[in-house]
Structure 1
Amino acid sequence: MNTKLNETVQPWYRSPWPWILMAGPVIVIVAGVITTYLAISSNDGLVDDDYYKQGLAVNQTTARIRNAISLGLQAELMQNAEGTRIRILLSGKPDTVLPDVLKLHITHPTRAGFDQNVRLETDGSGFYSGVLSARLAGRWHIALEDEKREWRLTGEWIIEGTESLRLPAELQGVTGPGMRTDTRRNE
């Protein structure tokens, strides 16, 4: 006779195979929920909400850099040993009138929370000084401009190993009369 009819059949939920087959989709759903939560709750500091206006401001910034070139401006930045103050020597062509106040924008490449805006006042004969809100270490993007926003000097400062940063007036990567097209600096 047939012996299989006499065996008791277990319900499906007592067998391991349905649970093993369902585990994959369940894991994917849980991972999707966690990923969605992290995407919504975390702040992406690298994305600016005002990217369109920043794109429109590129031509204005380029014009300010060209104005700094025409004035022959260059600056040397120095941080004191404690990292609490910054001092700048600004120079230009002999007929260039230097402003009484400068704005220094120090931005971290990846962490917007560490950015600083420093007001620099003249000490006389081209020297300016200001107080830093936090010590600078690592890599920073530097932008120096006058209060009227007529000119601008920019550069990158890697603090370790360098005591100062020299900001020459140059327009990198943009072609034009008398402009270099490479990003290497003249040594």
Structure 2
Amino acid sequence: MSDVTTASVSADHRPQLAPAGQGGGPDSAWRSPWFLGWIGLVVVVVVVNATMITLAFVTNPGLVVDDYYERGRDVERSLTTRRAEAPGWTMSLDTPADVAAKTPTMVRFYVVDSVGQPVRPDQVTYYAYRPSDPSADFSLPMVEEAPGRYAAEVTFALSGLWDTLVAAQTGGQEIAFDQRIGVADH
């Protein structure tokens, strides 16, 4: 008898590996949760980007200003130049907090000079711009109630955000004061 024992391994009991190129093997990347997570993340980013691009084209309001050239020239003036030309007025616009669409609302504009005395501009105009619908834009002249206090009764056709601007003209110069307001449903 021999003290050496031999073990024989038959070819039928070897572990079988999947052929190259087919998933499912024990070392396959497709079975790794990390790999699948990264692939899922990339797919989500691509889908979100495609959705945002589609929405940008579908919901484009196409806002174009009729007098774009004149407005562009006004923007070119530097802030320093505007400050040098400004008369030092203090302006405020009193718009009620509960403005509702299709309901008349009284807005008031106050303007005083650098020492607190009321200013009487030649003309004061109230402008209302609807950022998402330029066909709803309007302007009204403001009426002087007292020196330095002007009023206008405005009716907003639509609810939502509005950009308002009061332009006071005096001596060929226009000084503007702007304010963004929210208009509720009536």
Q: What TM-score results when the alignment is normalised by the length of structure 1?
A: 0.49
Which has the higher relative contact order, 1 or 2, with Cα contacts under 8 A spaced 6 or more apart? 1
- Work out which of the two has the higher radius of gyration on C-alpha atoms and give 1 or 2: 2
Q: What TM-score results when the alignment is normalised by the length of structure 2?
A: 0.49
